[in-house]
Structure 1
Amino acid sequence: MEKPNIVNIQKYSIHDGDGIRTTIFFKGCALRCWWCHNPESQSYEKEPMINYEKCVDCGACQKHCSHGAIKFENGHFITDTKLCVGCADCTDFCILNNREVCGTQYEIKDLMKIIDKDKDFYEQSGGGVTLSGGEVMSAPIEYLETLCKRIKAKGYDLCIDTCGFAPTENYVRIAPYVDTFLYDIKVIDDEIHKKYVGQSNELILKNLETISELGANINIRIPIVVPVNDDDKSIADIIQYLKDKNIQVSRVNLLPYHNTGSSKYEKLRRPYLAKDCQVPSKDKMAKIKSEFEKNGFSNVKIGG
């Protein structure tokens, strides 16, 4: 069975569904949101993340790189990500622990051992397991379905945190095991979506309509980013779409933009495109919340 890369397993998570949860972040996503706060989860492959700012250029990493991926250029040791195979040999010899390799593969039985350790928290808090990303729904489907079956066989609540950009048949296949889909919507205008997210939203909306028709429990999550989608028209478009398509929404989470993941981009040697984006004001968030409530959405929350 093909195994995906997993970039993080976060315990005692309280923002990825109800109660206390174990959130598993799968690596790989076809979207390129300007404001993505987990850029290390975009590539499907293992990749290095290096704190160049704190590097003292001691050269220990280069000495122990057996693939020739670390080169000395302009007075600094730089990692060529095209040559790096993610073996992580260099991380063991960095004297300041400035290097890490993002991506680990797990057998499902080993993941379940990790999940089982927190079962008492799930029972006491009404929590469970959340599979996130990246885009978990684009992970190898045999692996994902088997994992979901194992989680449900234990009686654990299961959430899928998804941006919606994955094959429709994956959603149909996984839906029977999912207690709640945490489903992202950014913007309805397709040209704006392509600009800031990197893909059309056609498939995303199709998949949302599909799981709604299947009777899924859906929490809509909307990142509010100034100036991407905080304007009146963008909010009205989302509300109208949800009403016109009769999407069965249990909750709406309005998520104010933050740039806490921006430092990761330098570690990955990538530009942070959202550097000019802004955090919406509290008044703006309250207004957006009010608009949803005026339109019949009774369970609207600011934050995760």
Structure 2
Amino acid sequence: MRRHAGRKAEPPGVRKVLLVRLIAPAIYLRATVDGLISHIQRFSLHDGPGIRTTVFLKGCNLRCAWCHNPETQRAGPEIQFLFEKCVGCGQCVQACSLGAHALAAGRHVFNRGLCAGCGRCAHACYAQALVLVGRRMSSREVLVEVLRDRAYYRTSGGGVTLSGGEPLMQSDFSAELLRLCKAEGVHTAVQTNLAWPWETVVRLAEATDLFMVDIKLMDGESHRRWTGHDNAMVLENLRRLAGRRIVVRTPVVAGINDSVGEIGRIAGFVASLGPAASYELIACHPLAAGKYRGLGMPVPEGLTAPDAQTMERLVSEARRCGVEVRGPRRAIAGAQDGGAASIGR
């Protein structure tokens, strides 16, 4: 088939979006909000039912001691420095007009205090030792990425999951993207800490098929100690969402929330939400040390994974409370550490 010179064929996802715009233009004309995206992970298997595309948003209001995705915590673009890949070529030094990079005695020195997060150094780094984490994308641009795998969603019962970071921290963008996905018939899920006013939660609820919410600890003060925020809004919002499809998850960390009593209290609360709510226990492993170092953040210390016997006891206790229990399973680090999904945020 002859093609017009200089004309580039549109990818299938783009053609589909353009076609739907002609059929139902109003929702697409409103699709103007940009979001700050950490990364988009295709073929995720642990972020909801079926094969999914997980959109990791950047920025979070909690600081969980065991966070597996520290690159999603800060609400702005930043550079991740993968020390082991650096070859000392000096291209970043030439690319940065602010002097954030230097070579001293053959070693790369990165002054984060001077970095503006522009990404020029990452673009110049052929060794890929410098990675820009965080880019602005419109809801329509993300939709195109999501629709690339819609055939897999249909055959597996999958869809799109908004994760992070914290999707409710970018509620305008998240609500719009969820509406666009629903208009395309794509199943939607949101992984959220739910520590937000109800007015923010309800904006996303109308276009969300499944909420995946962590209850890390039942005691408010303990929750604040380990996450930086109490859990009063989390529990109240879950009560308001009762009757909807909810998966409550607990990232289990040895010595913090791995007691039978703690899990029994959480499971009892989940059971009170009704039969549409289920419970998942996730053994939290310290897998993200490399990410913390690459971001110039202190590596969490003293955190250990619960053993298999402990996890089995906790699952038995949760089931005794009359709640449907999924797992146990092991937490997986985010895509930029080579994993497939974001767990235990």
Fold agreement, TM-score > 0.5? yes
Tell me the equivalent position of 2:289: 262
Tell me the equivalent position of 1:82: 113
Pair 248,76 (structure 1): closer, same or farther in 2 beyond 3 Å: farther
CA contact (8 A) 1:250 1:299 kept: no
SS in 2 for 1:45: coil
2:263 pairs with one of 235, 246, 251: 235
Percent identical: 34
User: Distance between the aligned counterparts of 1:131 and 1:272, measured in 2?
Assistant: 26
User: Distance between the aligned counterparts of 1:48 and 1:78, measured in 2?
Assistant: 13
User: Distance between the aligned counterparts of 1:137 and 1:193, measured in 2?
Assistant: 19
Tell me the equivalent position of 2:192: 162
Q: Report the alpha carbon displacement of residue 129 of structure 1 after superposing the two structures with TM.
A: 0.6
Pair 76,199 (structure 1): closer, same or farther in 2 beyond 3 Å: farther
User: Distance between the aligned counterparts of 1:73 and 1:194, measured in 2?
Assistant: 42
Aligned CA RMSD, in angstroms, stands at 1.9
User: Distance between the aligned counterparts of 1:143 and 1:198, measured in 2?
Assistant: 25
TM-score scaled by length of structure 2: 0.81
SS in 2 for 1:177: coil
Alignment gaps of 5+ in structure 2? 1-31, 332-345
CA contact (8 A) 1:171 1:211 kept: no
CA contact (8 A) 1:138 1:167 kept: no
CA contact (8 A) 2:220 2:230 kept: yes
**Aligned-partner residue type, residue 195 of structure 2:** F
2:250 pairs with one of 203, 222, 229: 222
Pair 30,142 (structure 1): closer, same or farther in 2 beyond 3 Å: closer
Pair 247,84 (structure 1): closer, same or farther in 2 beyond 3 Å: farther
**Aligned-partner residue type, residue 189 of structure 2:** C
1:204 pairs with one of 221, 225, 234: 234
- Structure 1 or 2, whichever has the larger Rg, is 2
**Aligned-partner residue type, residue 283 of structure 2:** P
- Deviations, residues 109-139 of structure 1 (Å, cap 9, x unaligned): 2111111110100000010110111001111
Q: Please tell me whether residue 280 in structure 1 is matched to residue 303 in structure 2.
A: no
**How many residues end up aligned between the 2 structures?**
299
CA contact (8 A) 1:37 1:260 kept: yes
**Aligned-partner residue type, residue 153 of structure 1:** A
**Aligned-partner residue type, residue 90 of structure 2:** G
How does 1:1-304 map onto structure 2 within 5 Å? 2-72=33-103, 76-139=107-170, 141-212=171-242, 215-243=243-271, 246=273, 249-273=276-300, 275-303=301-329
SS in 2 for 1:297: coil
**Aligned-partner residue type, residue 41 of structure 2:** Q
- Deviations, residues 202-250 of structure 1 (Å, cap 9, x unaligned): 22222222222xx32100111011011001222122133334x545553
CA contact (8 A) 2:260 2:317 kept: no
Tell me the equivalent position of 2:7: none
TM-score scaled by length of structure 1: 0.92
**Aligned-partner residue type, residue 176 of structure 1:** E
CA contact (8 A) 1:220 1:249 kept: no
